Structure 1
Amino acid sequence: MSDNSFLDLLGDDVTPIKAEPRVTLQKTTVDATTLKERRQTAQLEAAAPEDPLSGEPIEMVEPLSLISFMRPGVQHGVYRNVRMGKYKIDARLDLHKLTMDRARKLVYQFVKDCVGNDVRMALITHGKGEGREQPALLKSCVAYWLPQMEEVLAFHSAQKQHGSYGATYVLLRKSDAKKLSNREQHQKR
């Protein structure tokens, strides 16, 4: 059906209704720098969720000291395998040359992403911090932040082939989907 045939059906005595616009729209003038700042702020807020980790480490560790942690309930055999580096590393994060605030946000997001993607073993490389004005700052921060996260079951300084005192193995909690999958698999036996 064409437009002309529709008008023919209506007849000659039909006229369109004329309506006045109810709202008068005015353009707001905001300079380009303000718009750019607003966009950058919105992007930063959207990209970085609030992390609950405290910023300052309580206790500084030595550059060549081992760092370790194990939650109650983790089996000693599992922890031994973490300590020995026997599990396959599924994800890695390098914190070299980052500020403490940036590193804290990255560690928080990294752990959340690992749990969301069913990663059980991760490696965080933070460096030893030898010869620095404040030795082992990031290493101390990592040792302080990781126990604050419920997702972290255990961590230990890495073996030589993975970075030794400058890196840390992190054992993460299973995701809910992985727990359910394991339950179903073991019930079939």
Structure 2
Amino acid sequence: MSDDEFFSFDAEMADVKRLVSDNQVVHHSKHRTLDKEKAAKREAAQAATESKDDPLSTEIREMVSPDDQISFMRPGVQHGVFRKLRLGQYQIEARLDLHKHSVEQARRAVQQFLQDCLRIEVRSAIIVHGIGRHSKPSALIKSAVNQWLKALPEVQAFHSCQKHHGGLGAVYVMLRKGPNKKMDTRERIQNRKG
């Protein structure tokens, strides 16, 4: 450092006071607000990522009425297949009852149930959500199930049940085929062709 630089530095530092003890800390409000802004942005991004990763959100965006029929069919599902599902003509391989569940309990139960169904290659199931006339707000679990099933790519279609299976308080769910069921279908088609 040259003498000119030293004197220039010394002149600039003339009114700087030395901290008396080690406990004194200098707070910069600008950094604090930036840190708060960064933290808020980080939390918002994390929440957005979590909601993308978990399609079973407990925030219900569209409420249905207790007397509403709920129904959904993904593109590519044949109309005849959907008709048979709607009429309850497929063998029910699994059943989940959500009566007396909170929304969070129902979310976990539906998630686990569908994972188990996919693991053992269940194709057709029933989820009993109840009509929800007495819940506050009404049809809360029914609305949640309607939203969740639409959000899950492994659900091919669903429709409110026939009266003998639970009527408007339950839903038939058709899941995508597992590898073994796909192989069975290919073999059946090959055998028909001869």
2:91 alignment partner, one of 88, 92, 98:
88
Query: Over residues 27-62 of structure 1, what are the superposed CA-to-partner deviations in whole Å (9 max), with x where a residue is unaligned?
Result: xxxxxxxxxxxxxxxxxxxxxxx8542121111000
Q: TM-score, length-normalised on structure 1?
A: 0.70
1:71 alignment partner, one of 32, 53, 74:
74
Q: Distance in 2 between matches of 1:185 and 1:158?
A: 29
1:122 alignment partner, one of 96, 121, 125:
125
What one-letter code is carried by the residue in structure 2 that aligns with 1:150? P
Q: Distance in 2 between matches of 1:180 and 1:58?
A: 38
Alignment map for 1:9-28 (pairs within 5 Å)? none
Q: Which residue of 1 aligns with 2:159?
A: 156
Q: Which residue of 2 aligns with 1:135?
A: 138
What one-letter code is carried by the residue in structure 2 that aligns with 1:159? Q
Q: How many residues align?
A: 140
2:177 alignment partner, one of 174, 177, 184:
174
Q: Distance in 1 between matches of 2:54 and 2:186?
A: 31
Tell me if 1:55 matches 2:74: no
Aligned to 2:96, the other structure's residue is in SS state: strand
Q: Which runs of 4+ in 1 moved over 6 A?
A: none
Aligned to 2:59, the other structure's residue is in SS state: coil
In structure 2, relative to structure 1, the CA distance for the partners of 1:120 and 1:62 (3 Å cut) is same
Contact 2:124–2:173 (8 Å) recurs in 1: yes
Contact 1:51–1:105 (8 Å) recurs in 2: no
Q: Distance in 2 between matches of 1:52 and 1:147?
A: 9
Higher helix share: 2
Q: Distance in 2 between matches of 1:52 and 1:137?
A: 17
Q: Which residue of 2 aligns with 1:47?
A: none
Aligned to 1:73, the other structure's residue is in SS state: coil
Query: Over residues 129-161 of structure 1, what are the superposed CA-to-partner deviations in whole Å (9 max), with x where a residue is unaligned?
Result: 112321000000000000111110000000100
Q: Distance in 2 between matches of 1:107 and 1:55?
A: 12
Q: List alignment gaps of at least 5 residues for structure 1.
A: 1-49
Q: Which residue of 2 aligns with 1:36?
A: none
Q: Aligned Cα RMSD in Å? A: 1.4
Identity fraction in percent:
54
Q: TM-score, length-normalised on structure 2?
A: 0.69
Tell me if 1:112 matches 2:115: yes
